[in-house]
Each structure stands twice: as structure tokens, then as C-alpha cells.
């Protein structure tokens, strides 16, 4: 096999030639995560994008995440390995539908989860992530209505945390929707000593079985700090790679094997290499949308 250069090495070399930084989401395949200069949640990665001197950002995740990086760093070239890596939840709300809903609730404050298109963010008053959603909604005066977009599960979780009624958009993540309470109960029977840790994109009954609820960053932090040795993880299965890598003495079980997001899994090492070779596929966002979406993101950053 002498003379064959491993693909990882080719990517690393090309990354330097192209002056690129590789950002990888926590839900990406393990071999892709291992190539990341940074691995994290979508907002954390976008903030990394804002701080790097690199000219090119190779964003391994789904489309709305690359858009967020572009909103935060409009002067950089943001490329993705596969343009088909979208997010079905983000696609559950369009600008036209949101405008219609705003027409029905003209006084409502529109709080939009980062899992949404740049154009939908631009129609929103403030963004939130799964890590700061409770805090962002709590910052809206009690006498104002809140329209929470697009994740009804996260919105419902926030509403219960705050004891506040929210108008919920009827969107959801199909991947987290599949983490059923029965899956968690079966995993608990099999691993009775394990703590159950789930993402707030799951349905309420699944969340109700959890010892801890958190964003991907929150889940990573909780498991690292906990004295427990064993965990059942109710979120997209890609995160298990990082959990196992960073906590070699602990054991992690997936709550459901069905929590496997096909869009996240579109990234491969080959596509990363091609992406750097041809500097494709570039993600662009119109300037006026960048400006308005940026306002909603900045408001969130001021609050959290």
C-alpha cells in the first residue's frame, strides 16, 4: 500500500493550502468529527467561525448551520460538503407561513430556534438555542404573547419550565420525535444504573423520564461532570462518538437506535475532500437577510 496517502492526510494538507478551518457539528459521523478543528453545537461553531482568521469555513453539519456561520462572518467563504444536507424541522416553516401567522398575532414576540433558515430568522424578533431558550423566553415581558418557532417540543418544554402559555409553531425534529418513552423505559430496564439524559427536542413524555435535559453542549458537560458511570442518551446518535472519546471511563448507551438523522449523515470524508478541492458548495445569504437575521441573533446573545 506504499504510496497511497490516507484521505485524512489529504484533507489536512488541502485545508492548509486553502486556508480553511473545519467546523463539525456534534451530530456528524465519528470519522468526520475526528477531522474537525472545532466540534460543537451550531451557535458555538458559528462563533468560532467569527473568530478564525481562515478565509474558508468548511462547515460539516446541515444547511441552516452554515447559513448561521455566514450571517456571523459574511466576509468569509462558507462551504458545505453536500448541499442536500438540509433540516426537515427548519423546512417546516416558510417566510410566507410565518408572515401569515404574525398577521394573526400582530403583538406577539417571535422567538425562533436557531434550527431555522436565515430568511425565517430575518422575520423574527429574537433567536434562541436549546441551551438558552428558557432564558430568552423569560426575558419577554409577561404581558406579551410569544410565538415560538418552529420546534413545538422545545417550545412546550420552555412553556412548562416557565409555567407560561406560548403559541407553538407545529414543527418538530423527526429524528428526536422517534425517541419514544418506550425506548427509554426499555433502555432503563437493561441498564438500571444509568442516568437518562435527553435533548429538549424530544416529546414531553420522553423528557419526563430524564434525569437531565440539555442541549448537546449541556449533555456533554453534564456527562463529563457527573459522578455516574453510565448514561442513556436521548438525542441524535452522532453525539455518542464525542461522549465516548472524551469520557473513556464511562459507558454510554443510545436511548433509541432510530435517532439517526439522515441529513447529518450525508457528510463523508470523500465529500469533505472534494469540497476543499473545488471550494464547493458555497452557502450564500442575501445581504438584507444577513442584516435582519443578525439582529435577531445579536438580541439572543445580549440576553444569554
The pair phi, psi for residue 5, each rounded to 5°, is: -90, 125
The secondary structure of 236-256 as a DSSP string is: -TTHHHHHHHH-TTSEEEES-
CB atoms within 10 A of CB 152: 22
With binding defined as CB under 6 A, does residue 216 bind ligand CIZ?
yes
With binding defined as CB under 6 A, does residue 175 bind ligand SF4?
yes
The pair phi, psi for residue 139, each rounded to 5°, is: -75, -10
Among 93, 173, 179, 209, binds ligand SF4 (CB under 6 A): 173
C-alpha cell at 220: 456533554
Stretch that binds ligand CIZ, among 41-49, 150-158, 189-197, 271-279 (CB under 6 A): 41-49
C-alpha cell at 83: 448541499
With binding defined as CB under 6 A, does residue 88 bind ligand SF4?
yes
With binding defined as CB under 6 A, does residue 67 bind ligand CIZ?
no
3-state secondary structure of 80: coil
Report the Cα 255 to chain-centroid distance in Å. 19
Among 67, 82, 156, 236, binds ligand SF4 (CB under 6 A): 236
With binding defined as CB under 6 A, does residue 41 bind ligand CIZ?
yes
Nearest to 154 by CA among 199, 97, 103: 199
Residues 90-129 that bind ligand CIZ (CB under 6 A): 114-115, 129
Residues 176-195 that bind ligand SF4 (CB under 6 A): 176
Residues of this chain that interact with ligand SF4 (CB under 6 A) are 27, 62, 87-89, 115, 173-176, 236, 261, 263-264
| Residues found near ligand CIZ in the complex (CB under 6 A) | 25, 41-43, 114-115, 129-130, 199, 215-217
Amino acid at each position: 500500500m506504499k504510496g497511497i496517502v490516507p484521505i485524512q492526510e489529504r484533507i489536512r494538507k488541502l485545508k492548509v493550502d486553502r486556508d480553511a478551518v473545519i467546523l463539525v457539528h456534534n451530530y456528524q459521523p465519528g470519522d468526520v468529527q475526528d477531522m474537525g478543528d472545532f466540534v460543537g453545537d451550531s451557535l458555538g461553531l458559528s462563533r468560532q467561525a467569527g473568530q478564525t482568521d481562515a478565509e474558508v469555513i468548511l462547515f460539516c453539519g446541515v444547511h441552516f448551520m452554515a447559513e448561521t456561520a455566514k450571517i456571523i462572518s459574511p466576509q468569509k467563504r462558507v462551504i458545505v460538503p453536500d448541499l442536500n444536507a438540509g433540516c426537515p424541522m427548519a423546512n417546516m416553516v416558510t417566510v410566507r407561513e410565518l408572515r401569515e401567522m404574525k398577521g394573526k398575532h400582530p403583538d406577539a414576540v417571535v422567538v425562533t430556534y436557531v434550527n431555522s433558515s436565515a430568511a425565517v430568522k430575518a422575520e423574527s424578533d429574537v433567536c434562541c438555542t436549546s441551551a438558552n431558550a428558557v432564558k430568552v423566553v423569560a426575558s419577554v415581558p409577561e404581558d406579551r404573547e410569544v410565538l415560538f418557532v418552529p420546534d413545538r417540543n422545545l417550545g412546550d418544554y420552555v412553556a412548562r419550565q416557565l409555567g407560561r402559555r406560548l403559541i407553538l409553531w407545529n414543527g418538530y425534529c423527526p429524528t428526536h420525535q422517534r425517541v419514544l418513552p418506550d425506548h427509554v423505559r426499555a433502555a432503563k430496564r437493561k441498564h438500571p444504573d444509568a442516568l437518562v439524559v435527553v435533548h429538549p427536542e424530544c416529546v414531553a413524555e420522553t423528557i419526563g423520564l430524564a434525569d437531565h435535559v440539555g442541549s448537546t453542549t449541556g449533555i456533554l458537560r453534564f456527562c463529563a461532570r457527573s459522578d455516574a458511570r453510565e448514561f442513556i442518551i436521548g438525542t441524535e446518535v452522532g453525539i455518542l462518538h464525542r461522549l465516548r472519546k472524551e469520557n473513556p471511563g464511562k459507558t454510554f448507551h443510545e436511548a433509541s437506535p432510530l435517532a439517526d438523522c439522515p441529513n447529518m449523515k450525508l457528510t463523508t470524508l470523500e465529500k469533505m475532500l472534494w469540497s476543499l478541492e473545488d471550494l464547493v458548495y458555497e452557502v450564500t445569504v442575501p445581504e438584507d437577510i444577513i442584516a435582519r437575521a443578525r439582529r435577531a441573533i445579536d438580541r439572543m446573545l445580549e440576553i444569554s
